[in-house]
Amino acid sequence: KFEYGQEGERRLSDEILVTLWDRELYHKKLPSLPECERHHNQLFDKKGGFDVKKTVHIAIIPITFKATASAELLVDWDWELCSRSLSADVDIHPKVAVTISGGVDASIIIVRGGVSLSCSLNQAIRPEVYLKGAQCMVGFKIQREADPINVDFSGWYEWRHCHWFNCNWGGRKTHTFWQWGLPAVSETLYQKEWQIRKF
């Protein structure tokens, strides 16, 4: 007798058994397949961006302009095998993350401050091929996933406090003028399934 794997929802004995006239000649227990095991691998990770700063003087007032941007392209792939449900899937995760910010700072003797605008965007498209063995079905799906999008316009200022010849900047005060955002998104863009018996 040789049994290995699973029949429907029932696990088989995963063994080799040889008998002759009800006498056991050989018996070996085989290692069972994992019930569910997911594997993660990274294919590609590339980062880039810039950070610039420029100070100009208008009369005696220094004004600093700043701009930064960063981008990351990350590609991962996963695969999973589930012996209990007789299913398997392979999916790829290309993800783009972009962060952009800019601002202007100024300082005049007793007060300094600035304003800034920032935005973050993370998007991923996940194509996936899967097999549902218990249902005799194979499928293909494209999923879009997005982290929350946040846009923030804020400002800050500090007063200089002087006592005789000892001057120090006070605590920074901040204020948000405007905020905008979108919630996280996870949606199926396309999905198609086929019955294996049709092939």
Write out pLDDT tens, residues 126-164: 899 888 766 778 899 999 999 898 999 999 999 988 887
Least Cα distance to 98 among 65, 76, 123 occurs for 123
| 46-100 residue pLDDT tens | 999 989 999 988 877 888 999 999 999 888 888 887 766 667 888 888 888 999 9
Give 124's strand partners. Answer: 95, 145
Q: What pLDDT score does 28 carry?
A: 80
Contact present, 93 and 51 (Cβ < 8 Å): no
pTM of structure = 0.62
Q: Tokens representing 54?
A: 């420029």
